[in-house]
Structure 1
Amino acid sequence: MLLPTIAERIDSSDNLLDFGAGPTIHVSVVFRNKINNIYLADYLPQNRQELFRWTNGTSSFDWTSVLKMIATVEGSGWLQLKEMEQHTKAKVSIYQCKNKISKN
């Protein structure tokens, strides 16, 4: 998994936009310690709905294997997976991608 290595090398920043995030959280989790506000945007309502379920704790998908993989690459161990997830959730906002281009 290359993304944690990339995240480690960048400077901290205020905002990150994951455009076309899909129903996945790995980008958010990887950048949780570098970015203050993480914006997840997707066109499909079902993808956004799954992200909303994850943020409010009602998702039926178990993200443990993803969190373990990221924690292993980061060298942080598996004992803090819940904290890792909660820290990420606190920074995430979810948005719809618009399919219209505005001409000015």
Structure 2
Amino acid sequence: MSDDPSPQNLNSRLEYKQNFDASSYLREFYSKYDNDPAMHVVLTLLPNVVRRLPVGGRLLDVGSGPTVHVAMCFRKTAQNIYLSDYSDDSRKELFHWLLSYRYWPAEKFDWSSITKFIAEREGESDKWDRIENETRKKIKGILPCNVLKPHVIPIKNKKFDIVTTFFCLEAACNTVQEYRTAVKNVTSLIEPGGNFVMGGLLQQSWYKTGGKCYKCLYLTEEILIDVLKQCDILIENRKDFFYYDHQGIFLCVGCKK
């Protein structure tokens, strides 16, 4: 593509940690449910995915960024929800949201477009205004995370019934080997018989947010499926595995052996 940025103009994951602007990211991608094609695919499919999963247990969202739409979709399924991100600014935004921006009213982000869309997908359009508070009651922690470390989050020996991650792992990794390591580390947090829900980008080498371009691992479906197999995610049986790909945006759900 002629408008692709040159390699020297791509920012690294270290620069992401230092310079990521959570407020700009939310305004750019989440002011309206259809602002971003990738997010629109996830929001359209996720409520249906949630219905397939058992009710109860603990959920960890890895690489939440400053967003809570995943937690919103799982609020009726998971008993306890933990959010996590590599970026300090993202975790600060999550903390402000959790406290309803009580001390930071000028920073409040309006999630109503997203909650209305989720409520519509759930078949309860008239209950959109309850979603944020219902979700807040389920949040039990906002944690730092690093998917390239064996201990992804600073809680040792804790397993989760559901682990989710969206548009995170390919952005965190520079090589296929790093991607294998990241998926292995993240899936190690899942209880045997628990579920792994992941969304991401295929065949992209960069992404843009806040006016800046960042490196992204060029991921193929073949690499993705191979890595999931190596990490003991059951993919052979349609009962255990769901996979959807639309114009380079994928969503998959698999059961951990």
> What is the TM-score of this pair, normalised by structure 1?
0.89
Deviation at 1:60, TM superposition (A): 1.5
Could you report, residue by residue, the CA deviation over 1:17-37 in whole angstroms, capped at 9, with x for unpaired residues? 100011111100000001001
Paired positions, count:
101
Name the SS of the counterpart of 1:11 in structure 2: coil
> What is the Cα deviation at residue 42 of structure 1?
0.3
Structure 1, residues 51-85: CA drift from partner, whole Å, max 9, x if none? Answer: 111110115110000101100100111x3233221
> Partners of 1:21 and 1:62 in 2: how far apart?
17
Question: What's the RMSD between the two structures over aligned residues?
Answer: 1.5
CA distance in 1, matches of 2:149, 2:60: 18
Quote the residue 1:65 is aligned against. Answer: 113
- Following superposition of structure 1 onto structure 2, how do residues 72-83 of structure 1 map, counting pairs within 5 Å? 72-77=120-125, 79-83=126-130
The structure number with the bigger radius of gyration is: 2
Structure 2 unpaired stretches of 5+:
1-43, 102-106, 152-257
The runs of 4+ residues in structure 1 deviating greater than 3 Å are 98-102
Alignment of 1:10-89 (within 5 A): 10-58=53-101, 59-77=107-125, 79-89=126-136
Query: AA paired with 1:10?
Result: L
The letter for the 1-side match of 2:84 is: A
Q: Which residue of 2 aligns with 1:96?
A: 144
Identity over the aligned pairs, expressed in percent? 41
- Aligned residue for 2:241? none
Distance 2:123 2:128 in 1: 12
Higher relative contact order (CA 8 A, sep 6+): 1
